[in-house]
């Protein structure tokens, strides 16, 4: 199985400041169809997960543009340009390239300093 | 409004069985692959099972193979997870999730249903 490793696991941030989460996969996430199926999810306290980003850098409908995804191959990043209070929660990367055993990272907890 | 609503969770003894249900609304259920994803208390997310639109393909994480069965009823817009031989390590919130077309990931999630396996 593809192992997804996130860092850091805890990220204290100041309101209005940027934040960055790294996600690395144990093997390339480039699929034979040319796509890279790397996704990012946000889980606010007490809520269900919500997808933010799919295929590395595509924002889902309704996701603020302060969220952006980038990367290629085995190294990926989720960036929040200016953290707001509503961004507190746990963020997970997930690979969908290796079918059908999809795997998540351990999660990164974002909190306000 | 696109919505997934799970039900059927509860307390069950080790070795017991439980059947989870997920009611879909607001979209054409029969057109989508569907999944179950779980989250143990205080832990991360784990994909559990996928099912194709016509039930011709089903896939499971290794830890539940032979014990869990995913199924669906397109006429009732419903997804199911039959869980047998339950273990303490199956204790988790179980989420029903829709697989977004062409994205190989979960674009819609339910609110989850809690399953507790304990004597």
Q: Exposure of A41 by Cβ count < 10 A (0-12 exposed, 13-18 middle, 19+ buried)?
A: buried
Average pLDDT rounded to a whole number, residues A1-24: 97
**B36 to chain A: which residues are within 8 Å by CB?**
none
Tens digit of pLDDT for each residue in B36-62?
A: 999 999 999 999 999 999 999 999 999
DSSP A30: B
CA distance A61 to B117: 37
A32 φ/ψ sector (left φ>0, alpha ψ -120 to 50, else beta): alpha
Contact B44 A107 (CB under 8 A): yes
Average pLDDT on B64-74 reads: 98
- How far apart are the C-alpha atoms of B4 and B97, rounded to whole Å? 7
Rounded Cα distance, A11 and A3, in Å: 21
Smallest Cα distance from B100 to chain A, Å: 10
d(CA A80, CA A20): 6
Distance CA A49, CA A74 (A): 23
Q: Which pLDDT score is estimated for A99? A: 83
Convert the pLDDT of each residue in B83-119 to its tens digit.
Answer: 999 999 999 999 999 999 999 999 999 999 999 999 9
Tokens of A14: 């100041």
Please measure the distance between the N-terminal and C-terminal CA atoms of chain B and give it in whole angstroms: 39
Q: Are B44 and A105 inside 8 Å of each other by CB?
A: yes
**pLDDT value of residue A101:** 87
pLDDT for the residue B72: 98
The answer for residues whose C-beta is within 8 angstroms of residue A73's C-beta and 6 or more apart is: A28, A29, A30, A36
Give per-residue pLDDT as tens, A27-82: 999 999 999 999 999 999 999 999 999 999 999 999 999 999 999 999 999 999 99
> What tens digit of pLDDT does each residue of A81-94 get?
999 999 999 999 99
At residue B73 the predicted structure's pLDDT band, cuts being 50, 70 and 90, is very high
Nearest beta carbon to residue B111 from set A48, A51, A101? A48
Average pLDDT over all residues of chain A: 97
Residue B21: how many CB atoms within 10 A of its CB? 17
């Amino acid at each position: 199985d593809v192992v997804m490793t996130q860092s850091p696991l805890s990220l204290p941030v100041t309101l209005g400041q940027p934040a960055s989460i790294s996600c690395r996969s144990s093997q390339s996430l480039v699929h034979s169809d040319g796509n890279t199926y790397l996704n990012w999810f946000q889980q606010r306290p007490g809520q269900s997960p919500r997808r933010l980003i799919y295929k590395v850098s595509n924002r889902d409908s309704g996701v603020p543009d302060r969220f952006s995804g980038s990367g290629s191959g085995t190294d990926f990043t989720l960036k929040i340009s200016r953290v707001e209070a509503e961004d507190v929660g746990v963020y997970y990367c997930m690979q969908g390239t290796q079918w059908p055993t999809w795997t998540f990272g351990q999660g990164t907890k974002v909190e306000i300093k | 409004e696109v919505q997934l609503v799970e039900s059927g969770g509860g307390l069950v003894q080790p070795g017991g069985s439980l059947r989870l249900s997920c009611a879909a609304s607001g979209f054409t259920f029969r057109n989508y692959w569907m999944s179950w994803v779980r989250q143990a208390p205080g832990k991360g997310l784990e994909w559990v099972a996928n099912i194709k639109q016509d039930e011709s393909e089903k896939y499971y994480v290794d830890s539940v193979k032979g014990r869990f069965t995913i199924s669906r009823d397109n006429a009732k817009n419903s997804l199911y997870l039959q869980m047998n031989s339950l273990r303490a390590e199956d204790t988790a919130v179980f989420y029903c999730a829709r697989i977004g077309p062409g994205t190989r990931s979960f674009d819609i999630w339910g609110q989850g249903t809690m399953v507790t396996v304990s004597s």
